[in-house]
């Protein structure tokens, strides 16, 4: 009958029998040849205590429930030699039950250190290439030594064209200045991780808002290299802008409540007191009260509109522009004004809010240009335009007309065109004020998506 223990002792592979959790029950003679221990030196000790701390988690997971363990790829790990150095091993199969001892047999074979490190590096590269975030590494001379697929994709260039180039070649001055400030803080020891937000340059021109987190790593005893992770924060910036717009509207509401609503209320209160004192002759005062209350009602409706129209449009539908223009025209007191329609386009929009936008533009034209005007709605490149043949808007005021509270009319609220801009922004449209061919006002709404 063969002496199986003698056969095991002749094997170059290290056979270790462990209990669940890692206590060593047996090791063959390979432990002496590879690690400098006798076969009994490590018995009843924990195998994990002999493993390099960096490598320990992988084996710990394997030995916690050895009966359920599986291995999709080999595990490389280091065992401490009796002289204090580290010896590389790999195990390619999960532990299997030894019926004689009730323990689990872990078979490991020694591997060349360079091969083990290269395999580990390959696994790290595979992990890095699977990340959505862009990752880079540069040496002490700022030369790019590694980028993952996400970095090359964000830069919109093949990764081979990046490797070996100076990373500062690819950045714009403003971004580099921001990064240098953080880099100086790392070099002086003020912080361990550099964090910078900037516009990331791509090869075809457009920039992408990103957040960079980077730190130094020891490349040699005398040199430090740098690794960094670049995250696209376009969505976060959009949320921040939306929050800023909401905050601006809240400030606007506070202004309305504290000032614009208080004034007509004061007027109403004053005339009410006079009307009560002159009950028989107070008819005019009661008319003033009614007008003040009407003004309050208008302001409240405007306030509600501002709150509603600032929200982003998330589910636009195909809308016939001409039909919405017609409804908008009927929804406004147009007096003797005339409407001319020159569009058959179908736009993707929120029907109700598009009508609100058009009603405000029509109302603005009639209030500022007079009741006897012609309002035209027509196509323009990438959108549509609303024009009139009134006196127009002075060139110096065309940017201001969309500002909250701006009005050239003493009786105006200054909210109408601000609401128009809010609705356009909610659709991701752009709006500009210019001059019509008749010398009147022309509002162009562009970046509109059409239903084809």
Question: What is the tens place of the pLDDT at every residue in 55-69?
Answer: 999 888 888 887 787
Q: Pairing between strand 96-97 and 104-110?
A: antiparallel
Please tell me whether residues 288 and 345 are part of one structural domain.
no
Mean pLDDT of the chain: 82
- Which is more confident, 281 or 98? 98
pLDDT in tens, 412-445: 556 678 888 988 988 999 999 999 999 999 999 9
* DSSP classification of residue 391: S
* Residue that is last in its domain, among 181, 208, 232: 232
Decide if 414 contacts 402 (C-beta within 8 A): no
Domain assignment of residue 155, yes or no: yes
* Mean pLDDT across 341-354: 92
**Residue written as token pair 């921001």:** 178
Please tell me whether residues 282 and 326 are part of one structural domain.
no
CB half-sphere exposure, 244, CA atoms < 13 A: 7
Please tell me whether residues 200 and 251 are part of one structural domain.
no
Return the structure tokens found at 211: 């957040």
**Both ends of the chain: CA-CA distance in Å?**
85
Please tell me whether residues 24 and 89 are part of one structural domain.
yes
CATH code, domain carrying 368: 3.30.565.10
**Residue written as token pair 């409540």:** 257
Please tell me whether residues 76 and 104 are part of one structural domain.
yes
Q: What is the pLDDT of residue 444?
A: 97
Please tell me whether residues 74 and 147 are part of one structural domain.
no
* Residue that is last in its domain, among 309, 330, 345: 309
- Alpha carbon separation from 226 to 142, 213, 442 (Å, rounded): 8, 11, 54
CATH code, domain carrying 47: 3.30.450.20
Please tell me whether residues 223 and 138 are part of one structural domain.
yes
Domain count, the chain: 4
At 404, give phi and psi (nearest 5°): -60, 130
Query: 73-104 burial, b for 16+ CB within 10 Å, e for fewer?
Result: ebbbbbbbeeeeeebbbbbeebbeeeeeeebb
Domain assignment of residue 71, yes or no: yes
DSSP result, 432-447: EEEE-TTSSEEEEEES
Decide if 337 contacts 373 (C-beta within 8 A): yes
Please tell me whether residues 223 and 326 are part of one structural domain.
no
Please tell me whether residues 290 and 372 are part of one structural domain.
no
Domain assignment of residue 283, yes or no: yes
* Residue that is last in its domain, among 309, 333, 349: 309
Highest-pLDDT range among 53-67, 256-270, 278-292: 53-67
Q: Pairing between strand 194-201 and 144-147?
A: unpaired
- Which is more confident, 435 or 224? 435
Contacts of 159 (CB under 8 A, 6+ apart): 147, 148, 149, 151, 152
- Alpha carbon separation from 173 to 138, 140, 170, 196 (Å, rounded): 19, 21, 10, 14
Q: What is the pLDDT of residue 1?
A: 36
Q: What is the C-alpha to C-alpha distance for residues 348 and 422, in angstroms, rounded to an integer?
A: 17
pLDDT in tens, 364-386: 888 888 888 999 999 999 999 99
* DSSP classification of residue 158: -
Please tell me whether residues 331 and 438 are part of one structural domain.
yes
How many other CB atoms sit within 10 Å of the CB of residue 451?
A: 13
Q: Pairing between strand 14-18 and 75-80?
A: unpaired
The pLDDT-based confidence of 24 (bands split at 50, 70, 90) is very high
* Mean pLDDT across 1-27: 82
Q: What is the pLDDT of residue 12?
A: 85
Decide if 417 contacts 402 (C-beta within 8 A): yes
Q: Which of 75, 85, 80, 82 has the alpha carbon at shortest distance from 111?
A: 75
Domain assignment of residue 452, yes or no: no
Strand partners, 383: 380
Domain assignment of residue 51, yes or no: yes
Domain assignment of residue 196, yes or no: yes
Domain assignment of residue 90, yes or no: yes
Q: What is the C-alpha to C-alpha distance for residues 93 and 110, in angstroms, rounded to an integer?
A: 14
Please tell me whether residues 10 and 105 are part of one structural domain.
yes
Please tell me whether residues 358 and 434 are part of one structural domain.
yes
Look up the domain containing 406 and give its range.
Answer: 317-446
Domain assignment of residue 429, yes or no: yes
Q: What is the C-alpha to C-alpha distance for residues 378 and 341, in angstroms, rounded to an integer?
A: 6
Decide if 105 contacts 16 (C-beta within 8 A): yes
């Amino acid at each position: 009958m063969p002496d199986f223990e003698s056969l095991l002792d002749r094997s170059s592979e290290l056979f270790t029998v462990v209990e669940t959790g890692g206590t060593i029950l047996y090791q063959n003679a390979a432990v002496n040849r590879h690690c400098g221990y006798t076969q009994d030196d490590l018995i009843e000790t924990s195998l994990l205590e002999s493993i390099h701390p960096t490598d320990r988690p992988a084996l710990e997971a394997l030995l916690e429930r050895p009966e359920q363990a599986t291995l999709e790829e080999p595990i490389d790990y280091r065992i401490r030699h009796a002289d204090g150095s580290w010896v590389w091993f790999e195990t390619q199969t999960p532990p299997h039950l030894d019926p004689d001892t009730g323990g689990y047999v872990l078979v490991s074979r020694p591997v060349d250190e360079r091969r083990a490190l290269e395999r580990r590096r390959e696994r790290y590269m595979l992990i890095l290439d699977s990340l959505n975030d862009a990752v880079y590494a540069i040496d002490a001379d700022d030369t790019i030594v590694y980028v993952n697929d996400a970095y090359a994709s964000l830069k919109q260039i093949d990764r081979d064209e990046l490797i070996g180039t100076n990373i500062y070649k690819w950045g714009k001055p403003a971004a580099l200045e921001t990064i240098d400030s953080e880099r100086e803080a790392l070099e002086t020891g003020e912080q361990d991780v550099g964090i910078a937000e900037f516009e990331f340059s791509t090869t075809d021109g457009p920039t992408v808002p990103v957040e960079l987190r980077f730190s130094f790593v020891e490349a040699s005893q005398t040199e430090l290299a740098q690794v960094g992770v670049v995250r696209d924060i376009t969505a976060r910036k959009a949320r921040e802008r939306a929050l800023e717009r909401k905050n601006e509207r809240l400030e606007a509401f506070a202004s309305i409540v504290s000032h614009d609503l208080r004034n007509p209320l004061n007027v109403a209160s004053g005339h009410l007191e006079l009307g009560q004192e002159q009950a028989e002759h107070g008819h005019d005062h009661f008319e003033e009260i009614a007008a003040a209350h009407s003004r309050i009602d208008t302001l409240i409706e405007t306030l509600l509109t501002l709150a509603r129209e600032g929200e982003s449009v998330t589910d636009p539908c195909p809308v016939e522009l001409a039909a919405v223009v017609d409804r908008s025209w009927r929804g406004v007191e147009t007096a003797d004004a005339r409407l001319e329609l020159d569009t058959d386009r179908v736009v993707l929009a929120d029907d109700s809010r598009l009508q609100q936008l058009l009603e405000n533009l029509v109302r603005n034209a009639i209030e500022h240009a007079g009741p006897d005007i012609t309002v035209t709605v027509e196509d323009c490149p990438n959108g549509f335009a609303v024009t009139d043949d009134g006196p127009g808007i002075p060139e110096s005021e065309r940017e201001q007309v969309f500002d909250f509270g701006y009005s050239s009319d003493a009786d105006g609220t200054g909210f109408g065109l601000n609401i128009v801009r809010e609705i356009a922004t909610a659709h991701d449209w752009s709006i500009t004020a210019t001059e019509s061919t008749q010398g009147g006002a022309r509002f162009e709404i562009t970046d509109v998506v059409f239903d084809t």
